[in-house]
Amino acid sequence: MPTFNDLWLVSPSLLLFFGALVIMLAEAIVRPASKSGFSAIAMVVLFASAGLTASLYGSDPASAFGGMLRVDKFGLFSQLICLIAGMLAVSFSNDYLERLGLRVGEYYALVLFGVMGMGLMAQANDLIMVFVSLEVMSISMYILCALKRADPRSVEAGFKYFILGAFSSGLMLYGISFLYGGVGTTSLPGISAYFMGPHAPGQEGVLVAIGGALLITGFGFKVASVPFHMWAPDVYQGAPITVTSLMASGVKAASFAAFARFVFGVVGAHVSGFTGVLWWMAALTMVVGNLGALAQRDLKRMLAYSSIAHAGYLLMALSAAAEGSARANPALASLLYYLLAYTFMNAGAFIVLAAFTRDGADNTDIDALAGLGKRKPWLAAGLSLCLLSMAGIPPTMGFVGKFYLFSAAIQSGNVGLAIVGALAAASGVYYYLRPMVYMYMKDGHAETESSPAAYAGLAVSGFALLAFGLIPGPMLAVAQQSLQSLFG
Amino acid sequence: MLSLVTFLPFVGALLVAILPQGVAKMASLGVSLLVLAVSLPLWFGYDPAGANFQFVENMPWIDAFGVSYHMGIDGVSLLLILLTTVLTPIIVLAGFSGVEHGHRGYFALMLALEGAMIGTFCALDTFVFYVFWELVLIPMYFLIGIWGGQRRIYATVKFFIYTVVGSLLMLVAFIALYHWQYTQTGVWSTDLETLLKLHIPYSAQLWMFLCFALAFAIKVPMFPFHTWLPDAHVEAPTGGSVVLAGVMLKMGTYGFYRFAMPLFPDAVVTFGPAMIGLAVIGIVYGALVAMVQDDVKKLVAYSSVSHLGYCMLGLFALNAQGVSGSVFQMINHGISTGALFLLVGVLYERRHTRMIAEYGGLAKVVPKFAFVFMVVTFSSIGLPGLNGFVGEFLVLLGAFQFAPVPTAIAVSGVIFGATYMLWCFQRMVFGPLQNAANAELKDLVPREMAYLAPLLVAIVLLGVYPQPFLDRINPSVNRFVARFAEHYDGTPYKHAGPVPGWIAGNH
């Protein structure tokens, strides 16, 4: 029986849940004309949930629902990132969906459900809970991807994501059962304690290896790391832009948080072979993501490959995190900091792309950007800032984040991986510059349309990127503080 | 004080960006003159006999990383900062014509560039240095890409990518150094003065030096990393070329002087012969390639490759004459090559061609222009009495004590230098006036004379009376050289042979 304290600990998620229900009910009764108010409701709910998350952040870490969730600063910080990703996505949803001809209240309900799943996943302390919240998140995303029912690309995206996603969920569940067979529990602290304690050597080694490998596959799929990245470009391209934005940052943040708990708490210190696996995944992901993006002319595909590349940088931190102690682990702190940075720069870029959507169709070809610097200097400046941040050029938040990530990798002795990453990032600069070439150095006349809310979202992202780039101290301190209560 | 000089241009850039288009020119000229005025006290306040770093500002910036906002200058940075603040108003004034669209953006970026470059020369914290170092790229990228010539996009992307590849590897080495500092002392710090106290194992020094050196060698540019330079120079607008040649290339040599060499002295000894070899190749190769150019801007670009070779040769000579000469040569090159690009810009605005063959007999039509061009040409080839001579002479003097054979080869660069510059001058200025299009050329207008005059004064002043400048350079250079003497008991300096002396380091 859940106690009141349990409910208080999950109140941010509960709020999202009820908000989603309200929107679904209202969808049935409210006249179509007043449905634009839904985005305001969603925004308020997300904002209130973020407020609750922030207020929980101050309290001591606690387990909820019999150890299913662990509400600690690490989880709450990750949840906050997901909520920010949600808010930024909602900020430009309303007018974007209207221009696409999609006036659906369910959209906001699904966004709220999705963000709820992300938040819970970041705090899940039991593999079963990881799986359940992952499904809550993923199923919302599958539907959101296919929202543009008339557009074959969108349907393809949703279908592809669903099939592959379901497959990877299956593998993950299979992995969980192997681990359970080997260790006898699905609780993360339980598994960790099993490895720490004396245990008879036996068949469980094989079971754990298979289970761990399958789980890494599942996580690798969700964060779009090589070799499980194939779906990302198609899905990112087909999905509505707002959904892509949420998927690239929110899903990534939640999956990395759960992945980090799993890697750090379970496999890292005990099953050393996995560190090598993560090393190779990180190296390949950085290289393939950056090289893949070079050839893209469609900006959504370009950003999809860029998102893969960023997953690679984050994996680099994760493979560094697998070694060393939890409390003062710079790798985990850099992971959190970079996820936050990525959320801002990613959302900002997609907000600008969404401005080109007209008459029910997206226009994300790079040619659309031509001449934007003259027509819409603020949009162009915002996109440039986001791209420079993604490229890791100072004085942006992306630079501080990358510095921190590389620093963590080198500290753990992974100089080789850092050099691979630096070279991959250097080739990445080329495709981050190209949109700027089009915006400022070519002439064009693609029309744009943005609502004040979208501008506000862009302004918030841009401000955050600059502010946390110039004065990173306080936010770094928060990221480091977030680790203090990790793993009891 | 240093912060004021560094950030005033940024404030000015914002101001110019928001003020109406019409006043952009005057506003940016005003800002750049103000920055110049603010930077002059640095010259008068700098005490040549005083501490190594002066006007120091040090406050914590990012505690979590141990990064401090640490600024300070020695004699070398002082001169480079003054070079920047003197050149910027000139560039702004030159930009009054020739910039055809988007004045606000052009001048705002130019001012931002000035601030970033000054910051690079002031930073005494590696993190702060890296931030400014990369920050320089962004305005330059847009300046070439938006206001450049036909192949501007290719040129600007090439410029950016080349520099970033080097920079990112430098970042990796710098982070590794930062961790080395932590493991040795238990304190996180990116402060240069702290890092200089580290004892870094030889093997680690080697790869770290290579990473740093690559970043700086690309910027200088040293042969064989120079190929971005002719493209960037040719396509950049006049102002962009002047900044690029005048100041930005010195960021590379300055990087060697301030970071790469003092941090990794053992590696400097190991790679010294190779660096000297590349510098000499650059000197001769740059001069030879310059000789066959038919585009005058390209000619000046390759002459930069050659001249910067002297700077590198002097730096790696590791003795006081060589290094002082190298620093002096940096300033000279900034002035004379800057002036050359301005002159090319003057011609280009009138005729819209840079082909040498299109000109000829200019002395008759535009005598004032021809006179200025002559003085600058003589300065560039190092005629005694003008600035170029002092730097080149010191470099060769220093280098010869220590690597006679390479230096002897490098001297041939001086001859080639005279050849290509004088030949170019002759083809453009003397001879009969063959091309009818040149008959109506307008001579220098007062505005053009106004911005060329300070450069001419500097050319003569530095040539005739270099002492005040050398006085400020020398104490800093002596400290720089002493750092190597400390490490190797002076052995490299006793052996006056090209290779053996170098290897004599004690590992």
Instruction: Indicate whether B254 and B275 sit together in one domain.
Output: no
Percent of chain A surpassing pLDDT 90: 43
Indicate yes or no: CB of B160 within 8 angstroms of CB of A406.
no
Instruction: Indicate whether B102 and B180 sit together in one domain.
Output: yes
Instruction: Indicate whether B307 and B204 sit together in one domain.
Output: no
Burial class (CB in 10 A: 0-12, 13-18, 19+), B396: buried
Indicate yes or no: CB of A440 within 8 angstroms of CB of B168.
no
pLDDT of residue B199: 82
Give pLDDT tens digits for A435-462. Answer: 988 888 888 888 888 888 899 999 999 9
The distance of A317 to chain B (nearest Cα, Å) reads: 14
Sign of CA dihedral B41, B47, B52, B56: negative
Partners of A70 in beta bridges: A63
Instruction: Indicate whether B292 and B440 sit together in one domain.
Output: yes
The distance of B170 to chain A (nearest Cα, Å) reads: 9
pLDDT of residue A382: 93
Give pLDDT tens digits for B496-505. Answer: 333 333 333 4
B304 within 8 A of B249, measured Cβ to Cβ: yes
B345 within 8 A of B351, measured Cβ to Cβ: no
Rg (CA), chain B: 22
The distance of B46 to chain A (nearest Cα, Å) reads: 30
Q: Which residue has the higher pLDDT, A254 or B507?
A: A254
Give pLDDT tens digits for A214-233. Answer: 988 999 998 889 888 889 99
Q: What is the DSSP letter of A202?
A: S
Indicate yes or no: CB of B131 within 8 angstroms of CB of A395.
yes
Instruction: Indicate whether B308 and B228 sit together in one domain.
Output: no
Task: Name the domain boundary from B223, B239, B263.
Answer: B263
**Phi, psi angle pair for A72, to nearest 5°:** -120, 175
H-type alpha helices, A203-329: 204-222, 231-238, 241-246, 252-262, 273-294, 299-321
Which residue, among B62, B132, B168, B177, would best test binding to A if mutated, counting the most A CBs under 10 Å from its CB?
B168
Q: Which residues from chain A sit within 8 angstroms of residue B165, using beta carbons? A: 423, 426
Give pLDDT tens digits for A187-215. Answer: 888 888 877 776 655 666 788 888 888 98
**3-class secondary structure, B97:** coil
The distance of A211 to chain B (nearest Cα, Å) reads: 35
Rounded distance, CA A70 to CA A62, Å?
Answer: 6
Instruction: Indicate whether B250 and B317 sit together in one domain.
Output: no
- Facing residue for A425 by CB, picked from B131, B153, B168: B168
Indicate yes or no: CB of A410 within 8 angstroms of CB of B179.
yes
Angle between helices B387-400 and B296-317 (to 10 degrees): 40
Percent of chain A surpassing pLDDT 70: 95
Which residue, among B135, B152, B171, B210, would best test binding to A if mutated, counting the most A CBs under 10 Å from its CB?
B171
Q: Which two tokens stand for residue B50?
A: 């005083």
The CA angle A126-A131-A137, to the nearest 5 degrees, is: 125
Angle between helices A330-354 and A252-262 (to 10 degrees): 160
Q: Which residues of chain B have pLDDT under 70?
A: 486-507
**Phi, psi angle pair for B199, to nearest 5°:** -110, 110
Instruction: Indicate whether B368 and B443 sit together in one domain.
Output: yes
Interface confidence (ipTM) of the complex? 0.84
Instruction: Indicate whether B213 and B268 sit together in one domain.
Output: no
Angle between helices B24-45 and B75-94 (to 10 degrees): 160
The CA angle B469-B473-B477, to the nearest 5 degrees, is: 160
Q: Which residues from chain B sit within 8 angstroms of residue A388, using beta carbons? A: 138
Indicate yes or no: CB of B160 within 8 angstroms of CB of A433.
yes
pLDDT of residue B198: 82
Instruction: Indicate whether B96 and B142 sit together in one domain.
Output: yes
The distance of A139 to chain B (nearest Cα, Å) reads: 39
A233 within 8 A of A304, measured Cβ to Cβ: yes
Place A267 in a pLDDT band, splitting at 50, 70 and 90. low
For chain B, the domain total comes to 2
Rounded distance, CA A450 to CA A428, Å?
Answer: 28
Instruction: Indicate whether B248 and B391 sit together in one domain.
Output: no
Rounded distance, CA B148 to CA B236, Å?
Answer: 5
- Residue A62, pLDDT > 70, answer yes
Task: Name the domain boundary from B228, B263, B298.
Answer: B263
* Count of CB pairs separated by less than 8 Å, A with B: 90
State in Å, rounded, how far the first CA of chain B is from the last one.
Answer: 42
- Facing residue for B153 by CB, picked from A391, A415, A441: A441
- Facing residue for B130 by CB, picked from A388, A394, A410: A394
Rg (CA), chain A: 21
Indicate yes or no: CB of A473 within 8 angstroms of CB of B175.
no
Task: Name the domain boundary from B215, B248, B263.
Answer: B263
Give pLDDT tens digits for A150-196. Answer: 888 888 888 999 999 999 999 999 999 998 888 888 888 888 887 77
pLDDT of residue B132: 92
| pTM assigned to the model | 0.88
Q: Which two tokens stand for residue B62?
A: 């990012």
Rounded distance, CA A92 to CA A83, Å?
Answer: 15
Q: Which amino acid is at A467?
A: A
Rounded distance, CA A256 to CA A116, Å?
Answer: 16
State in Å, rounded, how far the first CA of chain A is from the last one.
Answer: 23
Place of tokens 């040795």: B184
Q: Which amino acid is at A282?
A: A
A410 within 8 A of B172, measured Cβ to Cβ: yes
Diameter over CA atoms, chain B: 74
Mean pLDDT, chain A, whole residue set: 87
pLDDT of residue B496: 36
Indicate yes or no: CB of B145 within 8 angstroms of CB of A410.
no
Burial class (CB in 10 A: 0-12, 13-18, 19+), A314: buried
pLDDT of residue A462: 94
- Residue A305, pLDDT > 50, answer yes
Indicate yes or no: CB of A406 within 8 angstroms of CB of B172.
yes
Instruction: Indicate whether B297 and B208 sit together in one domain.
Output: no
Residues in contact with B370: Cβ distance below 8 Å, sequence separation at least 6, in sequence order: B362, B363, B429
Q: Contacts from B29-36 at CB under 8 Å and sequence distance 24+?
A: B29/B89, B29/B92, B29/B93, B31/B111, B32/B85, B32/B88, B32/B89, B32/B92, B32/B111, B32/B114, B33/B89, B34/B8, B35/B5, B35/B8, B35/B9, B35/B85, B35/B88, B35/B114, B36/B85, B36/B86, B36/B88, B36/B89
Instruction: Indicate whether B255 and B311 sit together in one domain.
Output: no
Q: Which domain holds residue B401?
A: 264-507
Which residue, among B136, B160, B164, would best test binding to A if mutated, counting the most A CBs under 10 Å from its CB?
B164
